[in-house]
Chain A
Amino acid sequence: MQEQFEAFCEQTRSLGELVRTESDTIAGRARLLLRMEDVYAVRQIILTGSGDSFFAALAVAPALRAWTGLPVNAMVSMEASRYVDNGRPPRSGRTRGLLVIAISSSGEVARLIEAVQRLRRFGALTVAVTGDNDSRLGQSAERILNIAIPSAGSGPGGRSYVASLLGALHLGIRIAEMLMCMTMEQADRLRRDLVLLNEPLTRMAAQCVEPVAEFVRSWDSVFAVDCIGSGPALASAHFAAAKLVEAAGLHAAAQDVEEFHHLNYFVDDPQRVPAIIFAPSQALSRTRTQELARILPPLGRPYLVITDSADFAPPGHSLMLREVDEFFAPLLHAVPATLLAAHAALRRGSVHFRGLTGPWRGAQDAALVRGSSIESGS
C-alpha cells in the first residue's frame, strides 16, 4: 500500500520535468503535421478519446474553440465511432471539412480505432495523438502526432494524461496559427507559457501534499465524492473522479458547476459526500463557482476548492495553485487530483484497479477496452 502511495506521489513529482523536456519536442512534431490546404478546409473539429484521453479532449476543446472560432466538440469514443456517421454514405456533402483528433497513448483502444476507421471512411481528416505510431490507432489515422514520453514506472496515468494534453494543445495552437487566428508571436508565447508550467508543477508536487492529506483525513465514512468544474476544469473534475475510482475504489462523479445546482446539490447524507471544486480565477465560470462555494457550508459537505484565488473559499477550504491561463489549468490540476487519489487509497487500504484480481480480473492486459469487437458500420 505504501509502495503504491509512493509511486503516485513520485509521478506527481515527475510532471514538471516531463513538461520541461517534452513540450517543445511535441510542439515541433505538430508544426508540419498538417498542410495549409488541410487546415483551411476544416469546418469543424471533433476531439475524441476514452478514459483519461477523453478528459484530455474535454480539456482542450474549449481552448481550440476559443483560439480558432470553429465548432469544436469533445466526444467519447462511442459517440465518435457510432453516432456521427449514422450509416450515411461516405463523403456526403454535409460532412466535408471534418477534422478528427483521436487521443490514445497506447493506440490500442478498440472503440477509438473504430471511430477513426469509420470517420476516415466517412471523409474526415483523421489525426492520431498517440505514443505508438505502429499501434492500430496509428495505422488507422492519416496523420500521427507522436506523444511518446520517457517511462517512469507504474502509476495512475498522470504522465500520459499530461502528454495527451500537451499534444492536443500544441496541435490547437498550430491550427490557430496556420489559420492566422493568432499571430506567430502569440502562438510562440503560448508555447513558451506551456514550457514555463514546469516550475509551478514541480513546486506544487511538494506544496499540495499536506493540504490534500489533511482534507482526506476528514473523510469519515465517505462513500462518494463529487468533483466539480466547468470548461477546461470540468476535464480536471473528470480526471480527479477517475483517479478516485481507479485508486481508491470510491464512487466519484464529475459534474459541471452549473449542473451541480440542478442535481448533486440534493445528495442525501451530505457529510459523507465531499466536494472537490476546480476553480481557476480566470475561468469564465468564475462567478457561478463562487456561488457554488457559498452553498456548500450550509449543506455540511466537506469541500476543497483547488484555485489560485482567495475569492472562492476561506483558507481552510482552499488549495492554492499558481494562476495560469484557464486553458492550461488542467495541466496543473493533475497534481492535486493524483495526490487526492493517492491519499484516499492509502486511507481506505485500496489497491489500484483492485489489483486486477477477483471480480476485476477481466480487465487484465486492458482486455476490456482493447478486445471489444470493432463494427465497420457499413
Chain B
Amino acid sequence: MLKTFTLETDRNGLYDITPLAEAALDESGARAGLVLVSVPHSTAAITVVSPWDPLGLEDVQDELSRLIPTRVDFKHQYDTPQDAAGHIKASIVGHSRMFYLEDGKLGLGHSQKIFFWEFDGPRKRTVHVKVLTQ
C-alpha cells in the first residue's frame, strides 16, 4: 500500500512526520513487514533524530548548514544559492528511510522520530509511505 501526504513547510529545518507514517500503517492494518518513508524531492530529505530537546533539533540543522553553507559560488546556478546547497544536503542525508514493522509497531527506539528535512523552503511538499507486508 502506498499512501501520499502533502506537507507545507514554512521554513528550512526538521518536521516530525512520524504521525504520518503511523497513520499510513494504521490504515494498512499491517502487523509485520517493512515501512518505507520517501520523498520525491531533490532539496528535501528524510532522517531520524531524537525529538526530545528542540535545541537538539536546531543543532542538527545548524551543523549541516555549517558543513554545507549556502554560498553564491556553487557551479549549479540555475535556481538559487539555497537550492544549490539543498541538492547537496539532500544527496548526503538521503531521500528515504526504511523501518521494520513488528506487532503492528514501527521499529523506532524511544528517542527516535522520523523527520522530513526541508532544505529549500518554504515549499509545498509530498511524503510517500509504502507499507510492505510480510
Contacts and interface: CB of A to CB of B under 8 A. Distances in A.
A178 B77 CA distance: 9
Interface in B87-134: 120, 122-124
A180 B124 CA distance: 17
A368 interface: no
Contact of B79 (A37, A39, A40, A177): A177
A32 interface: yes
A178 B123 contact: no
A344 B73 CA distance: 54
Interface in A21-50: 31-32, 35-37, 39-40
A59 to B, nearest CB: 26
A35 B82 CA distance: 14
Given A35-B77, A177-B80, A40 B72 contact: yes
Contacts of B74: 36
A36 B72 CA distance: 5
Secondary structure type dominating chain A contacts: helix
A183 interface: yes
Interface of A: 31-32, 35-37, 39-40, 177-178, 180, 183-185
Contact of B122 (A32, A40, A183): A183
B123 A183 contact: yes
Contacts, number: 30
A178 to B, nearest CB: 6
Interface string B6-25: 00000000000000000000
Interface residues on B, range: 10 to 19
Given A32-B77, A184-B83, 19 more contacts: A31-B78, A35-B72, A36-B72, A36-B77, A36-B81, A37-B72, A40-B72, A40-B81, A177-B79, A178-B80, A178-B81, A180-B80, A180-B81, A183-B122, A183-B123, A184-B80, A184-B120, A185-B123, A185-B124
Interface of B: 72-74, 77-83, 120, 122-124
A32 B123 CA distance: 23
A170 to B, nearest CB: 15
A31 B79 CA distance: 8
A32 B77 CA distance: 7
Contacts of B82: 180
A177 B77 CA distance: 12
Which residue, A31, A35, A36, A178, has most C-beta atoms of chain B within 10 A? Answer: A36
Contacts of A184: 79-80, 83, 120
A-B pairs, top 3 by smallest CB distance, nearest first, are A36-B72, A40-B72, A37-B72
A42 to B, nearest CB: 11
Contacts of A36: 72-74, 77, 81
A145 to B, nearest CB: 16
